[in-house]
């Protein structure tokens, strides 16, 4: 049975990004030839903390129904043999690492990874010549979107890091109140058992409210 590669962040390359609600969604593939963009049969793995292998996803919607914090939406993926739509992690920073979506996926296309376990330097970058038609992962943010061909949806360059951002994976890793690097508490706060699933800064105690669908 084919399932998502649990080592994709060390064996795949970062080939492009796609807009999320708050932060860009990383797109991974074995190489640039394994990713052709939306509208083709080669989509690769989307997301990092919340990763979905779009080449396996059959769009049954179980992950969308299971997620308690409304991380997913649908994205149309015409001409893909597995399904013509996929569950996209547009609110990936809101993931509380409960792994409910991972557990219900019938084709094992979902993999949840705690931000603290992610090494941002683990994956190799695609060859510059091979990736000339893709969105460079280290390109500076601009007002224009990258040029695309055919029916591929526009891809966006990775956002410039915030002044106080951590050099590793940035999802949920800095406090919007004090600006210090701090991974959020998962589950109930040690100071407030009723806090779940909101996020609490370990430095200043600021609580980030999370939407429950």
Of 81, 82, 69, 78, residue with least CA distance to 22: 69
Quick check: pTM over 0.85?
no
CA-CA distance, 48 to 68, in Å (whole number)? 19
82 preceded by a cis bond (ω within 30 of 0): no
- Domains identified in the chain and CATH numbers: 1-159 (3.30.70.20), 174-213 (no CATH)
CA dihedral 33, 170, 115, 82 (to 10 degrees): -30
Phi, psi of 86 (to 5 degrees): -140, 160
Element (H, E) at 160: none
pLDDT per position as a tens digit, 58-108: 999 999 999 999 999 999 999 999 999 999 999 999 999 999 999 999 999
Mean pLDDT of the chain: 74
User: What per-residue confidence (pLDDT) applies to 107?
Assistant: 96
Cβ-based neighbours of 212, under 8 Å, separated by 6 or more: 68, 69, 70, 197
pLDDT recorded at residue 207: 74
Exposure pattern of 156-176 as b/e (b: 16+ CB <10 Å)?
A: bbbeeeeeeebeebbbbbbbe
3-class SS of residue 204: coil
Mean pLDDT of 181-193: 53
Is residue 169's pLDDT more than 80? no
Q: Distance between CA atoms of 97 and 7, rounded to whole angstroms?
A: 18
Q: What is the pLDDT of residue 196?
A: 52
């Amino acid at each position: 049975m084919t399932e998502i590669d649990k080592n994709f962040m060390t064996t795949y390359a970062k080939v492009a990004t796609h807009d999320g609600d708050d932060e860009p969604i990383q797109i991974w593939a074995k190489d640039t030839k394994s990713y052709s963009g939306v509208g083709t049969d080669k989509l690769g793995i989307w997301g990092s903390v919340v990763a979905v292998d779009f080449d396996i996803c059959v769009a049954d919607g179980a992950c969308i129904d299971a997620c308690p914090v409304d991380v997913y939406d649908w994205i149309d993926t015409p001409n893909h043999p597995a399904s013509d739509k996929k569950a996209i992690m547009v609110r990936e920073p809101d993931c509380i690492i409960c792994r409910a979506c991972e557990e219900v996926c019938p084709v094992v296309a979902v993999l949840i990874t705690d931000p603290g376990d992610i090494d941002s330097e683990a994956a190799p970058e695609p060859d510059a010549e091979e990736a000339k038609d893709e969105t460079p992962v280290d390109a500076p943010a601009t007002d224009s979107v990258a040029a695309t061909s055919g029916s591929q949806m526009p891809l966006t360059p990775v956002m410039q890091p915030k002044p106080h951002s951590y050099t590793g994976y940035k999802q949920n890793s800095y406090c919007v109140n004090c600006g210090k690097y701090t991974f959020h508490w998962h589950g109930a706060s040690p100071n407030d058992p009723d806090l779940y699933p909101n996020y609490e800064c370990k430095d200043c105690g600021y609580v980030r409210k999370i939407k429950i669908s």
